[in-house]
Amino acid sequence: MNAWGEIRGGSLTQRLRCGRQVITLLWIVLAATPAMAQQSLGTVTETVTTRGERDLNGRDIVAERVVTQRTRANDGEQVVVETYLPSMEAGRLALSRRVTRVRTETDDGSQTIEETAERSFAAASEPLRIIQRSVTTVRRRGTDSYVRERHVFERDTNGRFVPVLSQTETHVP
């Protein structure tokens, strides 16, 4: 680059000399368009989806960012979906919801445990709290049929997980 600027860390920096003083101008280009990025490294895949909109002043802002991370192992898969929404601080996103799903293969089927954690709107400074847990088990029954059992638990007024739904389905071709 010439005497007016130099590239540092991916941004353009310009230095102007006015007598004995040096004025530094930093140029940063931000894009506020819906974007999707995917990174794959072995058994881990991360997907980022960003949704933008315009505020009352006509400026582009990020309205929501969803980050999905998939991890595969020999005996199963883990998926974590995190949702970020605007926080009380201007221009910042805060984690508002996390859904964790772990699927494990067994000898006669599979088991999936899903937990949903959310931030309390009444106390935004507190950490995420698990509000729902579901356990789904799929087992083979015979050669062509299988049984699917699903149990959903939610917190009661005392903060304990209590069953709210139990389902059993038998599938025969």
Q: How far apart are CA 138 and CA 158, in angstroms?
A: 31
**Residue tagged 């221009």 (tokens):** 91
Geometric angle at alpha carbon 28, from 26 and 32, rounded to 5° = 160
> What structural domains and CATH numbers belong to the chain?
1-30 (no CATH), 31-171 (2.40.128)
Q: Tens digits of per-residue pLDDT, 7-42?
A: 434 444 444 444 555 454 444 444 444 555 544 444
Averaged confidence pLDDT in the chain: 77
Kindly report, residue by residue over 131-170, the tens digit of the pLDDT.
999 999 999 888 888 999 999 999 998 989 999 999 999 9
- The DSSP 8-state label assigned to residue 127 in this structure reads P
* Whether the predicted model's global pTM rises above the 0.85 cut: no
- pLDDT confidence of residue 130: 93
